[in-house]
Structure 1
C-alpha cells in the first residue's frame, strides 16, 4: 500500500478538481465569476450591515473584520517563512485566469469568505452563515478549478480562520464594549 505524503495528496486532489482541456465554457465562466468577482460583494455586504443592520449585526461585521485582519497577518508570516508556489508556478494543471506568481498558501479569498461564514455561525446567525458556507465552498472550488490554488491552500486558510475566530470568541466579552463603544455611538441605547 502506497502512502501519499501531503504534497502528493495536495497535487492529486488538485488534478482531480482542476479544469480539464474540454471543460464546458459555462462551467469555466461560472468559476471565473466566483473566483474573481464575488469577493467584491463582501465590502458591500459589510457596508449594508453597518449602516442598516442591528447592533448585533454590526458586532458580527467587526468580529469578521478582526478575524480577517488577524488571519491575514498570520498568513503573511506563513508566506514569509514557508512560501508555497501556485500550481502554474510548478507547471501543473491548467490556469484559466491571470494571477501574479506569488505564494499560494494560505488563500486570501478563503480567509475572507470563511471569516464571514464562521463569524455568523458562531453568532448563531445560521441563515446567513449557510449562504456564506456555500459561497466559501464555491470560491474554494473555483480557484482550484481555474488553477491558481491547491486544495490545501483552502483547507489551511479555513483552519487559520477557525482558530482565530474561536480565540477571538474567548476574549470577545472582555474587549467587546471597548471596541463597540469606540466605533459605534450606542451609549444612548445601552441601559
Structure 2
C-alpha cells in the first residue's frame, strides 16, 4: 500500500512544469519559511509570542534529533534507489525513514498550535501538511516516511509543550533578557 500510494502521488508529477516547480519549492524551502515565522514572532512578538517561537524552535530541533534516532533503528531505501517513481529532485540521504523535513516542519507547526498564543499556527500547520505531500510528490519519500515524520514532530512539540513552564519558557525569557541588554548597549554605544 505504501508503494502504491507513493506511485499514485508521484505519478501526478511531470505533467505540469508549474506544479512541478511549486512542489519542488515546497519540498525544499518550506522549512525556511517556518524559520522566518519564528524570527517574526521572536522579533515582533510580545512575551507570549517570543516564548512560542522559542518552544517551536526547540521542538523543531528535538524533532530532527528524534528523526535521526528513529532512522538508526529502521532503514528504508529512497524510492529512487528502489527504482520507483520519477524523482524531481536528487536527495543525498540514503535513508528515507522518517522524513527530516516533515519531522522539523511538524515540530514547529504543532508547537505553535499547542502554544495557542499566536495567530500563525494555522498557516504553519498548512505548510507542514504541504511539505509532507510535496516530499512524496517530488519522489524522495514514501507516504509512511512523511506520516512517521509528522508523528515524530508532533511528539517532540508535545514533549516541549509539557516542559514549557519548567524549562523552555524560563530559558526563552533569559535569552530575551540577554538580547535586550545587548541591543541596549549597542544603541548607547552608537550615540
TM-score by length of 1: 0.84
Given that 2:23 and 2:138 are in contact with CA atoms closer than 8 Å, whether structure 1 keeps it comes out as: yes
Misfit runs of 4+, over 4 Å: none
After TM superposition, give the deviation of residue 34 of structure 1 in Å. 0.8
- 2:154 maps to what in 1? 162
Instruction: Name stretches of at least 5 consecutive residues in structure 1 with no aligned partner.
Output: 1-8
Q: Which structure 2 residues correspond to residues 8-47 of structure 1 after superposition, within 5 A?
A: 9-20=1-12, 23-47=15-39
The CA distance in 2 between the partners of 1:16 and 1:142, in whole Å, is 13
Size of the alignment, in residue pairs?
A: 179
- 1:6 maps to what in 2? none
Given that 2:61 and 2:104 are in contact with CA atoms closer than 8 Å, whether structure 1 keeps it comes out as: no
Given that 1:89 and 1:101 are in contact with CA atoms closer than 8 Å, whether structure 2 keeps it comes out as: no
Q: Does 1:67 align with 2:50?
A: no
- 1:179 maps to what in 2? 171
Given that 1:95 and 1:146 are in contact with CA atoms closer than 8 Å, whether structure 2 keeps it comes out as: yes
The CA distance in 1 between the partners of 2:35 and 2:158, in whole Å, is 23
Q: Which structure 2 residues correspond to residues 1-191 of structure 1 after superposition, within 5 A?
A: 9-20=1-12, 23-125=15-117, 127-185=119-177
Superposed CA offset, 1:88-122 (max 9, x none):
01110111112114211111111222122211111
The CA distance in 2 between the partners of 1:141 and 1:181, in whole Å, is 36
The CA distance in 2 between the partners of 1:116 and 1:55, in whole Å, is 18
Superposed CA offset, 1:39-98 (max 9, x none):
322332222222221111111111111111222111111222322111101110111112
- 1:3 maps to what in 2? none
Is the alpha carbon distance of 1:22 and 1:36 closer, same or farther for their aligned partners in structure 2, counting shifts above 3 Å?
closer
TM-score by length of 2: 0.84
